[in-house]
Amino acid sequence: ISKAQKQDWLTADLNSEFANSQKKVTAYLFSAEETAKLVKTPNIKEVRFVLGYLDHTIQINMIGIDENGQKLGIVNSVILKESNYDEQLTKLNELTISKTAKRTPLLNKHLLLPQEAFKGIEAWQKKLNSVSGLDEATSHEGSRFRYFTLESAVIEAMIDKGNTSNVGLFLGLNPKEKVTTILISLDKNNAIKKTSVTSKEGDDVYDATRPCPPNGDPEAF
């Protein structure tokens, strides 16, 4: 994402042309191999999902930063456009999350129920159908979201489970009707991962990423 694309996002007209283009985006795919190299880089504490704008569509990349906010690496996403993905997303409603799994307090803090993930993703798609309210959904007090921040340990836990080919970033709406990033582990076919082929238990789904603004430094955009 170029500096120009970042600036274009801040002033983009979120009209019907944007909505029609964005509706074709299923998810943003971050290669597990490339992501592993990033989050396991020494001194990386957090990742930022930075937003840009090109061809009436949101662009997103992942930047690793240290405790001082210095950028130490980057992973670009590939946009997944899959017209038949609705059936895959609906399966989120059938999945459970193990309450007995050993997770760190940090992971539990960001954990999202699959059903809540589905509700958020579906709400964003419906918002794109109506067009109205898109500026409010993508902004804080009139200032458009520039990036979302998450502790790198959460991403590392996702890719360390094995058989994860991509970390899928899905845009959704949170309970406050604001855009958020929903992270789901995907297999080599970009299907939502389960703990086993026959299991109804899904791999962990995460959110609670912090948008800038109001969190973080807009100048670090």
Mean pLDDT (whole number) for 27-45 = 96
Reported confidence tier of residue 220, pLDDT bands at 50, 70, 90: confident
What is the predicted pLDDT for the residue at 200?
76
Question: Residue 5 pLDDT more than 90?
Answer: yes
Out of 44-58, 86-100, 189-203, least confident range: 189-203
Question: Residue 20 pLDDT more than 80?
Answer: yes
Distance CA 28, CA 12 (A): 20
Beta-bridge partners for 183 = 169, 206
Model pTM score: 0.94
Distance CA 174, CA 188 (A): 28
What is the predicted pLDDT for the residue at 162?
75
pLDDT, one tens digit per residue, over 90-126 is 989 988 887 778 889 999 999 999 999 999 999 999 9
What is the predicted pLDDT for the residue at 216?
87
Mean pLDDT (whole number) for 135-142 = 95
Distance CA 38, CA 31 (A): 11
What is the predicted pLDDT for the residue at 196?
63
Asked whether the CA dihedral 195, 197, 201, 204 is positive or negative, the reply is positive
Show the tokens assigned to 39.
């989050």
Question: Residue 195 pLDDT more than 70?
Answer: no
Mean pLDDT (whole number) for 188-202 = 77
What is the predicted pLDDT for the residue at 197?
63
Q: Please say whether the beta carbons of 207 and 97 come within 8 A.
A: no
Mean pLDDT over the full length of the chain: 92
What is the predicted pLDDT for the residue at 198?
61
Q: With residue 72 as reference, give the H or E element that holds it.
A: strand 71-76
